[in-house]
Each structure stands twice: as C-alpha cells, then as structure tokens.
Amino acid sequence: MLDAGFHFPLRRFTTGVEPVFGCREGFDSMTLTMYGIKNCDTIKKARRWLEEQGVAYQFHDYRTDGLDERLLRGFVERLGWEPLLNTRGTTWRKLDEAQRNACDNADAAITLMLAQPAIIKRPLLDDGKGHALLGFSADGYQQFVSEVTA
C-alpha cells in the first residue's frame, strides 16, 4: 500500500516531454513522468537517481514545456495548494510581503504558480495511474518505484 504521506493521485500530462531515459526489464517505459525545472539541483539529483536505477521516465519542464491551468488545477485538487507552493525557495523569498500575504487560497496560489512556475515544489513524479510523489529522497523514490512497478 502506498504511504499517504508521500504519494498523491494525479492526472498524467503527456505533451512536451523529453524522451524516456533508462528502462528496467518488465517496466512500462512510458509510465513515469517527472515534472519540474531542468536546472533545479533537486531535479538533477532525482533524475540521476532514476537513471542510475534504470527506471524509465519522461521529463516535463514547466518552463520549456509549459504549464496549463487545467493541469495545475488537477495537481491542486489532488495535493492541495499548500504542499505545491514552495515557500522555502528563492522565488518565494523574492516576492514582496504583499504578494506573499495575498497567496492565501487556491485561486491566488494557482495564479502565482502559473505566472512563476519556479515557485512549484519539485520534483513531482507521477506514475500516470493515480499515484505521485512530491519532493525527492532516495528512500522515498525507492519505495515509490518499488510499489508502482510491482
């Protein structure tokens, strides 16, 4: 059973993704999609981990591949806007106090995340079957991949 603290149901978004990397035998090479921003250090660590483990995935970069409101609203419906809003990063800290204070509900958060996708917590790994993992840790990825590929 997936741990509810780490995994969230999401819709899969398949346009504008990079080619699949790696492929573990018996694993559907088109199953996982990682959402994020290519130059993020945490994304780099997560991608490296997946590639070292031979786990196939597609990468969707919010900046180059886009982020439409429907996809973001789907994430917010399943995860809530608070976990998706990265209030620990530089993008959040660069906002003035009025902008930060105005982000106190789902619609305001969605507007901000659409305008500044770098403010979305990452990576977001989606199995395309209703399970997702937000953030990165090697142990969390190991558990997630083991469970969604079983």
Domain boundaries, the chain: 32-148
CB atoms near residue 118 (< 10 Å): 18
> Residue 102: which H helix or E strand, with range?
helix 97-102
pLDDT, tens digit only, all 150 positions of the chain: 344 333 443 333 333 333 333 333 444 444 799 999 999 999 999 999 999 999 999 999 999 999 999 889 988 888 899 999 999 999 999 999 999 999 999 999 999 999 999 999 999 998 888 788 899 999 999 999 999 887
Q: What pLDDT sits at residue 22?
A: 37
Asked if residue 133 lies in contact with residue 7, where contact means CB atoms within 8 angstroms, the answer is yes
Q: What pLDDT sits at residue 71?
A: 84
Nearest-10 crossing angle of helices 69-79, 106-115: 140
Whole-number Å distance between alpha carbons of 5 and 2: 9
CA nearest to 15, candidates 54, 45, 58, 47: 58
pLDDT tens per residue across span 74-116? 888 888 999 999 999 999 999 999 999 999 999 999 999 999 9
Residue with the two structure tokens 């780490």: 6
Asked if residue 42 lies in contact with residue 34, where contact means CB atoms within 8 angstroms, the answer is no
23: annotated active-site residue? no
Q: What pLDDT sits at residue 102?
A: 96
| CATH code for residues 32-148 | 3.40.30.10
The pTM is what? 0.78
Q: What angle do CA 10, 12, 13 make, to 5 degrees?
A: 130
Residue with the two structure tokens 């500044």: 116
Q: What pLDDT sits at residue 59?
A: 97
Q: Which of 32, 34, 40, 133 is catalytic?
A: 40
